[in-house]
Amino acid sequence: MERFRRSFSCAIQGIVYSITSGRNMKIHLLAAIIAISIAFVLGVNRIEWTLLMLAIFMVLSAETINTAIERTVDLITEENHPLAKLAKDLAAGGVLLTAINAVVIAVLVFGPYLIKLI
């Protein structure tokens, strides 16, 4: 049980570091708060909530992994190596893909509700 508690503590520390050190993570969290607020106001159903939560947590997870990759590359080399740049670009591209997916899901979920309001 102690190993589990330690592992959980390390994971929480990683999440906190990602939030406190990353400008992009703060932007993603703000977008998540806005999306959750809109979902509450519009009264989305359980399936729509599930889709929104999956999209939100995919983006937050991708950004956390991106941060880990960036820090690892920075640890390995301080020089501007093409492969170091490629690793960071690929990780950032993964975040961008998940963010685009989240926007598509938001449009699909919120669109019908917003059209009814117009």
Whether 63 is catalytic is: yes
Choose among 28, 105, 38: nearest CA to 61.
28
> Residue 98 in contact with residue 57, Cβ under 8 Å?
no
- Which of helix, strand or coil describes residue 118? coil
The catalytically annotated residue of 2, 48, 63, 79 is 63
Write the DSSP string, 20-40. Answer: HH-HHHHHHHHHHHHHHHHHH
- Which of helix, strand or coil describes residue 77? coil
Choose among 60, 71, 62: nearest CA to 19.
60
Active site residues: 63
